[in-house]
Structure 1
């Protein structure tokens, strides 16, 4: 079905349906959500963004509630969900949207906005309680790095460091989609036969990325 011919309401309905399928680990078609996001952000259509907000707010709230430092804030999840979605909206408007190739990349950036909202709040309220980026050992747990730099440029550099397509796909699953080893094995049974294989490969990739001078420079500039 050509998404360009659908109304905003029609796109929103299909996007909501496909999002539910994705949440249920079923096969889903991202084209409807991507077109809705494009109209909301690249085209600046307020009605489209209203639907985007309604569809993705529950997921954003889950990200907030699952954040390791959310409990330290004393705020409710809605507060940070709203802040993240506002930041996301203004950061992605107009031509900036063209940097993102698909829904996974867009949602990865939205998740980064959640992290940034919580960490910025803690820096403002309790600066001594916040762990500096330099003390975080897992690259996969430092989305603030991506949020404060050009995410597309940084991801391109990571892809350059990982010429093997299987490694790139695994990095995407871990760092952008936040999938667990069990979920990765389920999604890609032809590439990974068990969770241990995923864990070993993940350790190897993280070790390689943490020892890259360019990524270290990016982190030190924050």
Structure 2
């Protein structure tokens, strides 16, 4: 089976000399299809940098990134953009929905931008919304939706079409605990079959929805756990983590 995402000795450095910052240091990470991985760590540990590099929004200073077995270093800028549109979905903390478009139009937009017909794009968008329990809200605008509903629309947009890698940066950070749990439950349900997910979160309870938790500190992977008790046992063992 080809891994959905692979990072091999990936490092990222910003600046030079005295201002040099090592955001990532030789990170190795493999995420298989159907697997959900949570990434935790203190502020500045490299969590968001890991996501942007995994999604080809940034290039590593060294190391190799593969998506679906395809090495990103061998792709042109246009090919990477096409890969993002077709195979990688993003969920952001602030949703990033367009206020002037309905839920269905927000979800179908990436497909339309990639040249898919309006009819096919809408059908795919409605199917994605239905899977997330939003079929009856398809023609509502974002300001007519609750926070939890807007986040579900953002998730639907991230997985519509043939996308196989879901990347989420604090997807429940703007929600209360009840809606935060609901979002993680939906992300968990989405990551099955050939869809894999990587979620950055600061909440150990929410991270327990993942199959595996990866801890970053100072740009390095310092721990991983796949224990059924989730990450809380490691957090309790090392309160500084």
TM-score, normalization: structure 2? 0.30
Higher helix share: 1
- What TM-score results when the alignment is normalised by the length of structure 1? 0.32
* Greater per-residue strand proportion: 2
